[in-house]
Structure 1
Amino acid sequence: MSAWFSAWILKLLGWKVLGIERISSLPQYVVIVAPHTSNWDFPLGILVRTAFHLQKIRFLGKASLFRFPFGWIFRALGGFPVQRDKSHNLVESYVKVFQTNSDFAIVIAPEGTRKKVDHFKTGFYYIAKGADIPIVLCKFDYHERVVDFMEVFVPGTDESADLAYIESRFRGARGKNSEYNF
């Protein structure tokens, strides 16, 4: 799919993308996108990634998505399969990927599910801290039809304060299925 076609689809559907200039010169980062309430978040993300030439941004998906017959499609779209059990050290694996790739980014839904949660999972934070890279805060607001790259956040020394601040930035954003909003 071409950039112009993706941009045209976004415009046709009434979506605006804000703050893209915040990430254009960053070599490495973790993007967190919330609220993640629908499978429709995936095609929206792919449209934005393609329209704005953000191919270096890869996404994490549950391993079952990468099995036959559709696994090759998810890999071609930039996916990395994730084993979601406790025996795999995902954080350490991604820190190593960042250490060996100077121009790399991943997108993560910090809720870890499309269902309602009270707090984000923290893997994204530990990946960013371990790789010494920023976290890009991006919200998908279906009510306003806005994808907003709100802020480039550099984790500090107070994990609790950092996570509370990050979560606060997503309060009020309305996902596709509003009953699951963060």
Structure 2
Amino acid sequence: MHFTVFDTPLVRPALRFISVIGLKLAGWKLDGEFPSASKYVMIGAPHTSNWDFPLTLAICFAARAKIYWMGKASLFRGPAGPVMRWLGGIPVDRSKRNSLVDQMVAAYDRADRLVVAIPPEGTRKAVKEWKTGFYYIALGARVPIALAYLDYPSRRGGFGPMMIPSGDIDQDMTAIRAFYSDKRGRHG
């Protein structure tokens, strides 16, 4: 890890202040607190808009929470690269056929603390089936899954229960999807 201008003692508090004010002005509230576990996979749904990303970052800054997230490799090119990495971004090259699940399990094994936010839809478009990579990452890393959400009609973001994957993906996914059944994204 290398030092950047973003690591100065004033940047995070300034971004927290801006986030708290911005969320209040926009009418958004955080339900509950970030889970205290040192390692977990955080899924965020529904994911229907580009606005989900800055809103999630604002909530994280306001709550003094550090999360990591996976983004397409093109986001990390050029001058935006260091900023995206500082914001917790992990570049993913979707054109290569390598096991992202195995790479993330290894990252959890190496880390003392790690929270990776993953939208289960895998896209901002409406989908009938969620991607299951988040589940297999949590199962392989032996970490819980935190159910996080943004509900646009109520302007609330927050957390549901933490769940330990049982290995029965059908049963676990039924419970996860039931939690999200009343949450609505910006679109759809």
Normalised TM-score (structure 1):
0.91
Map of 1:39 onto structure 2: 50
Larger Rg: 2
Map of 2:60 onto structure 1: 49
Q: Give the whole-Å Cα distance in 2 for the aligned partners of 1:124 and 1:19.
A: 23
Map of 2:110 onto structure 1: 100
Which of residues 131, 146, 150 is equivalent to 2:156? Answer: 146
2:126 is equivalent to residue 84 of structure 1: no
Q: Percent identity?
A: 43
2:123 is equivalent to residue 113 of structure 1: yes
Q: Is the 8 A contact 1:135 1:153 kept in 2?
A: yes
Q: Is the 8 A contact 1:119 1:167 kept in 2?
A: no
Q: Is the 8 A contact 2:139 2:167 kept in 1?
A: no
Q: Give the whole-Å Cα distance in 2 for the aligned partners of 1:151 and 1:7.
A: 24
Q: Give the whole-Å Cα distance in 2 for the aligned partners of 1:170 and 1:8.
A: 28
Q: Give the whole-Å Cα distance in 1 for the aligned partners of 2:45 and 2:94.
A: 19
Map of 1:72 onto structure 2: 82
- What SS does the corresponding residue of 2:91 show, helix, strand or coil? strand
Note the alpha carbon deviations across 1:24-69, whole angstroms, 9 max, x for none.
x2110010001111100010011011111112x1011111111123
Q: 1:163 to 1:86 in 2, by over 3 A?
A: farther
Normalised TM-score (structure 2):
0.88
- Unaligned residue ranges in structure 1 (runs of 5+): none
Q: Give the whole-Å Cα distance in 2 for the aligned partners of 1:84 and 1:160.
A: 26
- What SS does the corresponding residue of 1:147 show, helix, strand or coil? strand
Q: How many residues were matched structurally?
A: 175
- Unaligned residue ranges in structure 2 (runs of 5+): 1-13
Q: Is the 8 A contact 1:62 1:84 kept in 2?
A: yes
Q: Following superposition, which runs of at least 4 residues in structure 1 exceed 4 angstroms of deviation?
A: none
Note the alpha carbon deviations across 1:118-140, whole angstroms, 9 max, x for none.
12100000000001000000111
Q: Give the whole-Å Cα distance in 2 for the aligned partners of 1:85 and 1:159.
A: 27
**How far 1:86 moved relative to its partner?**
5.9
